[in-house]
Structure 1
Amino acid sequence: MPREQTQSLFDEPDDDADALDVVDPNAPLADRMRPRSLDEFVGQEHVIGPGKMLRRLVEGSGRIPSMILWGPPGTGKTTLARLLSHRDRTRFAPLSAVLSGVKELREAIAKARDARRHFLHTLLFIDEIHRFNKGQQDALLPAVEDGTVTLLGATTENPSFEVNAALLSRCKTVILHPLDESQIVALLRRAIDDADRGLAALHPDVPDAELGRLARFSGGDVRVALSALESAVLSIAPGNDGKRRVDESTIVEALGRSRFAYDKGGEDHYNLASALIKSLRNSDANAALYWLARLIEGGADPVFIARRLCILASEDVGLADPNAMVQAHAAAEITRLIGLPEALYPLSQATLYLARAPKSNLVKRAYQAAAKDAAETANVPVPLHLRNAVTPLMASAGYGKGYRYVHDDPAARQAMTCLPDGLTGRSYVDPEELGGSTQDA
């Protein structure tokens, strides 16, 4: 149910959820086209579809719990928060974790306590909540716990890593997904046709193929798509018929490298690296090249990529093809020497070599088995015959006694044990996996 249109001490411009109904003609297109109701909201059917929790809450049924809205940029986190605040006796208090600190938090909570005395409930919306440090997040706990505020935190980062466990346990995590191509095209078409908030007054002529291109290259981020559309339309002069005809080159120029943008220190960076390694392990050369390109074009450090290739060359190829390490190491050294963009060639070559190389994790399994025994027998002394008798005292104590020099005594390979007592005969490596006997290797 829409909230009452009452003015109070606590209704400040930034706190007013009805700002959704106000259009600032100077605002970016993405902001002007922000959905004003669930009917205008596109996507996220898994949480706002018929009968789903968020729909019931937006429509005014039930108490709103504190929530962390987790999803990529441009998926509707801020809009959903504002729609949730569009209720009777509810005020919306937005903060940005980039611009605010503990001082601003305390001021917002103090206002919420005053509002509570007048039977107004506060939805405290914190954009990019992952930017708050532990102390700043801890400052929220008492107000969330006693119900002074309902916290709506928006984040593009995994809350498991970026939100304090104590705060996370008091919030419901709502996961939002990137919009698909058809959904973004629908929103772009809406912006083109809207005369009040959109671009209709500019008479844009954008072919369906170019709208599809915008949708594909926006990475599921509606804001990127709408911003690129606005830039493209504004950059074209009207023709004799008043229409602004947008073609492929204009769309490509408007998109720039934004279609590859991602946080090089965030979770997605490591997700891409994981996809590359898993594709290589699975000997899928096409997928490996794709993920490599995503990393490179997204601006990943090429040396970081080279390090990952070196690790895989030993961990997942290893003795099945010892040249894999040579290829990976060479690619790493060349990358350090020449840098991007030319480094994409040695990195691609190493990627293709590793993808088609035979796979073996023998080295990893053998070491892990040996490490397990090493941990369990950490106090077992080195056998005397394997110790060096550096001083006469050490020699008199039996250091080196019984050691047989294999170059002069070939029989020592079979006759002399090199493992400590209790581990004699232990095997970490199957001789057949090495291509012969470990004794002959």
Structure 2
Amino acid sequence: ESGTVSLIGATTENPYFSINSPLLSRARVFRFEALSAEQIEELLRRALADKERGLGGLPVEMAPEALAHLADMAGGDGRTALNALEVAVMLASPDEDGVRRVTLALVEEAMQQRAIIYDRDGDSHYDVISAYIKSMRGSDPDAALYWLARMIAAGEDPLFIARRLVIQAAEDIGNADPMALVVATAAAQAVQLVGMPEGRIPLAEATIYLATAPKSNASYVAISRALADVEERGPAPVPLHLRDASYRGARAMGHGKGYRYPHDYPGGWVDQEYVPEGTLRRRYYEPTDRGREARIRERLEALEKAKREARRGT
């Protein structure tokens, strides 16, 4: 703050995660973006012309399509492009006139595959999985498959992907299609059983299922409401008629007294209170009108009507 120390740093990690807050608040953060294909082409031309630090000391002739391919396949990473350029030049044998002619075929051999910028512990890891989840939530199977392919190609842990599928099925689909959780769990088990690369197939199957399933976050919202209620109000005693009466002496303490067994009543239901006495009755679960939850909603509305009629004595 007094200007005694000037700190200049560069990192591949997200500074908002890896630098403590007091230091970060006193610093200015500049983000470096990936290079465009045009910028990489310019970088490669400079490397070919630089006699001191580049390849300018060698007679090299670079085919325009080879240069463009290098720039495109580098994935925005200048270092990757420069390394591939050096390999391609070394692979090119001098012709009779001593010139090394770098063709598209040589560049393809040098690159082997497109560079995929992906840090399993950094921003790319979290950004790509976020895009994957949001694509499934948004019911776009093709986009979800694209992000899945990005993670697989970059060597992401398939079990990490599988765990996200299981969470997604419960959080964003829930009872609108309960089979989503079954499919996601089966995919996770299949990945454990067969491993990669075959594991990509059940991952893709589950991804498509979840992306195309009807959506509901009602279960997620419901448990969040219930937890907030418990945290705010604290635990209330369990009503006597709901307490465990299976052990010796329990009934003498009134456990289970007055409990009505639903299967003994028509329709397998009887009006009975299941929340602690004096507790304000709250609606935690509000099913949507999508998928199977539409039927659940009808069922709950019918039970609510039966409850009102029972309490009116009709």
TM-score by length of 2: 0.85
Q: Aligned equivalents of 1:312 and 1:377: distance in 2?
A: 30
Matches within 5 A, 1:351-370: 351-370=207-226
Does the alignment pair 1:373 with 2:255? no
Q: Contact 1:417–1:424 at 8 Å: present in 2 too?
A: no
Does the alignment pair 1:437 with 2:299? yes
Return 5+ residue gaps in structure 1 as ranges.
1-144
Give the corresponding residue for 2:198. 342
Q: Contact 1:413–1:439 at 8 Å: present in 2 too?
A: no
Does the alignment pair 1:387 with 2:236? no
> What amino acid is the match of 1:356?
T
Q: Aligned equivalents of 1:340 and 1:353: distance in 2?
A: 20
Q: Contact 1:224–1:258 at 8 Å: present in 2 too?
A: no
Q: Contact 1:276–1:287 at 8 Å: present in 2 too?
A: yes
Give the percent of matched residue pairs that are identical in Structure 1 and Structure 2: 47
Q: Contact 1:331–1:350 at 8 Å: present in 2 too?
A: yes
Deviation, 1:404, is 0.3
Give the corresponding residue for 1:210. 66
Does the alignment pair 1:283 with 2:121? no
Give the corresponding residue for 1:244. 100
Match of 2:162 among 299, 306, 315: 306
* 1:350 to 1:432, Cα distance in 2 relative to 1, 3 A: closer
Q: Aligned equivalents of 2:268 and 2:214: distance in 1?
A: 34
DSSP 3-state at the match of 1:245? strand
Q: Which moved more, 1:222-231 or 1:241-250?
A: 241-250
Q: Aligned equivalents of 1:432 and 1:195: distance in 2?
A: 69
Give the corresponding residue for 1:157. 13
Q: Aligned equivalents of 1:264 and 1:228: distance in 2?
A: 23
- Give deviations 1:78-97, integer Å, cap 9, x for gaps: xxxxxxxxxxxxxxxxxxxx
Give the corresponding residue for 1:93. none
- Give deviations 1:134-165, integer Å, cap 9, x for gaps: xxxxxxxxxxx564442111111111111122
Deviation, 1:414, is 4.5
Matches within 5 A, 1:101-180: 147-180=3-36
Q: Which moved more, 1:305-314 or 1:323-332?
A: 323-332
Q: Aligned equivalents of 1:423 and 1:211: distance in 2?
A: 73
Q: Aligned equivalents of 2:98 and 2:142: distance in 1?
A: 46
Higher helix fraction: Structure 1 or Structure 2? 2
TM-score by length of 1: 0.62
Return 5+ residue gaps in structure 2 as ranges.
304-314
Higher strand fraction: Structure 1 or Structure 2? 1
Q: Aligned equivalents of 2:301 and 2:13: distance in 1?
A: 52
Q: Aligned equivalents of 2:30 and 2:224: distance in 1?
A: 39
Deviation, 1:386, is 0.6
Give the corresponding residue for 1:59. none
Give the corresponding residue for 1:194. 50
Q: Aligned equivalents of 2:50 and 2:206: distance in 1?
A: 51
Q: Contact 1:205–1:245 at 8 Å: present in 2 too?
A: yes
Give the corresponding residue for 1:295. 151
* 1:353 to 1:391, Cα distance in 2 relative to 1, 3 A: closer
Give the corresponding residue for 2:184. 328
Does the alignment pair 1:232 with 2:88? yes
- Give deviations 1:289-347, integer Å, cap 9, x for gaps: 11111111111111111111111111112222222222212211111111111111111
Deviation, 1:362, is 1.5
Question: Once superposed, what is the RMSD of the aligned Cα atoms?
Answer: 2.4
